[in-house]
A and B are shown apart, each in its own frame.
Chain A
Amino acid sequence: MHKYLPHTREDIEAMLKVTGASTTDDLFSSIPKKLRLTKPYNIPHQLSDEALTKHMKNLANQNQELIIFRGAGAYDHYTPSIVKAIISRQEFLTSYTPYQPEVAQGTLQYIFEYQTMVCELTGMDVSNASMYDGSTATAEAMFMAHAQTDMDTILVSETMNPRTIDVIKTYAHYRNLKVMIVPMKNGQTDLEAVERLIASKMGLIVQNPNYYGIIEDLCGFADVIHQAGGLFIINSEGQALSLVKTQGEYDADIACGDLQSLGLPLSFGGAYLGYLATKMKYVRKMPGRICGLTTDVDGKRAFVLTLQAREQHIRRAKANSNICSNQSLMALAVTVYLSAMGKEGLIKVANESMKGAHYLYHKLLQTKKFDVLFDQPFFKEFVLKAKFDVNAFEQACLKKGILGPLHLGEGKLLFAVTEKRTIEEMDQLVELVVNLA
C-alpha cells in the first residue's frame, strides 16, 4: 500500500538528483538533530476503499438518532434537500479562498448575496462574509466596540448563553479588556441596571431571544447606551429574526449571532455560521472578509473582496482581527436555504416552531409537575422548574429515544421545540413526565 504522498520512488530519485541531496532527510539537515523526530509517525497504514467504508459505517452506527427537545443555541430544524444538493457541487464544496476575483466570481457572487440577505434579516447596512460561529462573531463585535470607543469594559447581559459569555471572556482576556455582567430581572435584561452601569463602558451585548428562550423587550436600550457613548450589540439566532424585532429596528450598532437555525444540520456541534453586520459608519472597524460589487475594465459587473486594508495580510499586528477567512460553504448553505424558503416561508416555519413550543408549554404545565419560572413571552424555547428528579427524567427520555430538555441546574429545564417535533412526539414527552414516580 502507498504511504500518503503519491510520488513514486523514481520521482523522488529524480528530484534528489537535481537538488544534490542523497535522501529526503538530507533536505532537513539545517534542523538540529535534537529537534528532529526520530520515530515514524503514529498513523496507521491506509485502508482499502472497502475497509475504509466499513470503518466509517461502524463509527456512524454508534450515532443515536434521537427526538430532540433541546436547543440552547443549536436547533434541530429541517434542512431542505436543495441545500445539500447545491453545496455538494464540486465548484462549491472544495473551492478555496476567493482573493483572486478573476477566477472566483461564482464564489464571490454568493458571498455578496449572503451579505445582502444578512442585512435584510438584521436591518443593518453592511455585513461581512461570515465568521466561524455566533460566539466568536459576538466576541469580535466587542472588539469593534472597543476600537470605536476606546473604553475597556463591556457590559454583557446575564441572560446570554453562558457558553457565548465564556468565549467573550476568553477574547477579552487576551486584549486586556474587562467583562461586566448585568444582572437579569425576571428573565429579561434589566434596563435600570444598564442605566446604572453603562457610564464609561464600550457598550452592551444582549441576546434576543435570550438563553431562556424569552423574547426580550429592548425598547429604550439604544437611547440609554448611545447617550453614554457606547455601542449597542444584539446577538440573535437567524430564524428568530423572521419574527422578533431586528437589530436595525432596535437601533443597535452591531448585529451578530449564529445562523445554524437557517438550514444547517446539527452535525454534532458544527460547522455552524457566525454573522456580523453593522451600520455603515463602523464598516472599517469590521473584521473578516467583505465582498463588494464593482465593474471590471470592460464595464461588466464584478465582485471582489474589498476594504482589505483591515485584514492581517496587509495590516499585520494592526489588523482589526486575526481572522482572514470566512465560513464560505455554510454561508452558501444558508443563502440557498433563504432563497428556497423566501420571506413568507421563513415566517411560516418559524411560526411552526413557536406554536409547537407553546403547545408543549401548556401541556407540560397541565401535568402539575412544573412551576413557572418566568412569566414572559417566548419563541421556541422555555424554562420550567421541575418538581421531580430531573436525572431520572433524562434517563427515561433516552430509553425512549428522546433527548430531553437541558438541565440548567436546580431542577430548571430548558425545552426547545422546532417544526420537526410532531404532536405525537410532544405528547410522548408529556406522557413520560406524567409516568414519573
Chain B
Amino acid sequence: MKETVLHDKHLALNAKMIEYAGFHMPVSYAGIGEEHLAVRTGMGIFDVSHMGEFLVEGKVALSFVNRLVTNMITEDVTKVTYSLMCDEKGFVVDDLLVYVINAQKILLVVNAGNIDKDFAWVELQSKAFDVAVRNLSDEFGQVAIQGPLVKEHIHEIMGETGQDLGFMTYKVIPYGSGHVIFSRTGYTGEDGFEVYGKPEFIRDIWDKAIAIGVIPCGLGARDTLRFEANLPLYGHEISDTINPVEAGLNFAVKLEKDFIGRDALVAYKEHPTRKVVGIELLERNIPRHGYPVLKDDRVIGVVTTGYLLPTLTTPVACALIDIAYSEIGTELFVQIRNNKVPAKVRNRKFYTKKYNK
C-alpha cells in the first residue's frame, strides 16, 4: 500500500485506517456521523493527496483537452471545470477537474482509483496531438477544507481570505518557500477550498488547520457528504458501463463540441434506456450500493449509493434503473437481504448546496 504525505498525522490522531485505491487512508477519526456534521455546521479537513494529477503541455494542449473531455474548456485561467472523459462508446473513463494554467499548460485532477488507467488512456489519446503528458500524482499533496465557517478562518491557515474566489475558481498563491494552487472547490456540497502543493506545504497546512480546531475527516464522511450533495462517485453513479447522460450529468456534457464518445451519446440520447434516479425508502432500513431495485417482482435496477444519513429522517439512495420507471413518485422495492422494502422515486436533491456563488 502507498502512503500519502500526511500518513503519520492520521496515525497520530488514532484514525481508523483502511486500504483505498492502493493507499493507506483514514476512514474516520472521531466517527463518520460526527465528521459529517462537523462539515455541515463548522469546518472539516480531508487528506485527498491520493488523487491523481496529470499535466498536459504543448501548443495545442487546449484543443487536445477539449477532444478528451465532455465539457467545454475555455482559455479562462481562473476557472475550474468539472468534466468527464468517455470512451468511443460513450461510457465514462473517469470524472475530473480541469485547471487551465494557460492555453499550453493544463492540469487534470483525476480519481485515485483510476490513476493508472486514466494516464494510459490520456497518453494513448495524446498520440494524435503534439502535446506532452506527465503523471505528477506522486509530486502533489492535497487537502480539502470544507464547511460554512471555513471562509471566516481560512486566512489563519493560508494567509489568504479567498474572498475574491467564487465557486469553481482558483488562483496560484505564495506559500512558504513556494506556491500552492488555492481553489474554491470541493466534494461536500459546502463552501470551502482545496489546496494542491508540495508535500511539505500540505503538511504545514494540515497542522495549522488542526491547531485552529478544524475537525479531521476521513473517507467515510467524504462519501456520505458527497452522496447527500448528489455528487457522483466513479464505480457507483458513473463507471465504464454507465454513460454521463444516464447518470444525469448533462450539464457537464457539451454535445455541440466534438469529443471522444460524442456520437455515441448523441445516439443514446435519442433512445435512452436507463437513468440514475433518487429513491426514498418508505420503511426504516438502509439501501446500500449493489442492492437490487425491483418493480413488483422484476429486477429493474440497482442501488448505486445509499445511506442512512445523520441529517435526514428517511433513508435515501441513488439507483440506476430502467428508464420506464424513472418518473417521480413511481413505487418500487429495494431488496435488502430477505426483505422487499417499499420505496419510491424522488428527486436527487437531498441537500441544498451552500456554494459561494
A residues lining the B interface (CB < 8 Å): 191, 217, 219-220, 351, 354-356, 358-359, 362-363, 365-366, 372, 375, 377, 423
Contact = CB atoms under 8 A, between A and B. Distances in A.
Contact of A365 (B263, B264, B271, B299): B271
Which 9 residue pairs spanning A and B have beta carbons closest together? A362-B267, A359-B89, A366-B267, A423-B88, A363-B267, A355-B89, A362-B268, A365-B271, A217-B298
A194 to B, nearest CB: 13
A405 to B, nearest CB: 18
Given A351-B241, A365-B267, A366-B270, A359 B90 contact: yes
A362 B270 contact: yes
Given A351-B240, A363-B264, A363-B267, A358 B324 contact: no
B268 to A, nearest CB: 5
Interface in B311-330: 322, 324
A366 B265 CA distance: 11
Contacts of B241: 351, 354-355
B270 A365 contact: yes
Contacts of B297: 191, 219-220
Contacts of A359: 88-90, 264, 267
Contacts of A423: 88-89
B91 interface: yes
A359 B88 CA distance: 9
B334 to A, nearest CB: 14
A362 B261 CA distance: 13
A434 to B, nearest CB: 13
A362 B271 contact: yes
A424 to B, nearest CB: 10
B298 A219 contact: yes
A423 B87 CA distance: 11
Interface in B289-320: 297-299
Contacts of B88: 359, 423
A351 B297 CA distance: 26
A372 B324 CA distance: 14
Contacts of A355: 87, 89, 91, 240-241
A50 to B, nearest CB: 46
A358 B240 CA distance: 13
A358 B91 CA distance: 10
18 contacts: A351-B240, A355-B240, A355-B241, A358-B89, A359-B264, A362-B264, A362-B268, A363-B264, A365-B270, A365-B271, A366-B266, A366-B267, A366-B270, A366-B271, A375-B273, A377-B273, A377-B322, A423-B89
Given A351-B240, A366-B270, 4 more contacts: A355-B240, A359-B88, A359-B267, A372-B271
Interface in B243-279: 263-264, 266-268, 270-271, 273
A102 B322 CA distance: 56
B297 to A, nearest CB: 6
Contacts of B324: 375
B256 to A, nearest CB: 17
Nearest to B240: A351
Nearest to B272: A362
B302 to A, nearest CB: 12
Contact of B89 (A191, A219, A356, A366): A356
A352 to B, nearest CB: 9
Nearest to B268: A362
A317 B267 CA distance: 59
A307 B301 CA distance: 43
B238 to A, nearest CB: 14
Nearest to A361: B271
B347 to A, nearest CB: 25
Nearest to A362: B267
Nearest to A367: B267
B328 to A, nearest CB: 21
Nearest to B87: A355
Residue among B264, B270, B298 having the largest count of chain A Cβ atoms under 10 Å: B264
Contacts of A351: 240-241
Contacts of B240: 351, 355
Contacts of B264: 359, 362-363
B113 to A, nearest CB: 14
A356 B268 CA distance: 12
Contact of A219 (B263, B267, B299): B299
A226 to B, nearest CB: 17
A363 B266 CA distance: 9
A217 B299 contact: yes
A212 to B, nearest CB: 15
Contacts of A362: 264, 267-268, 270-271
A356 B240 CA distance: 12
Interface string B80-124: 000000011111000000000000000000000000000000000
Contacts of A366: 266-267, 270-271
A302 to B, nearest CB: 41
Interface centre among A220, A365, A366 (most CB of B within 10 A): A366
Nearest to B299: A217
Interface in B205-244: 240-241
Contacts of A219: 297-299
Nearest to B270: A366
Nearest to B269: A362
A274 to B, nearest CB: 29
A365 B299 CA distance: 25
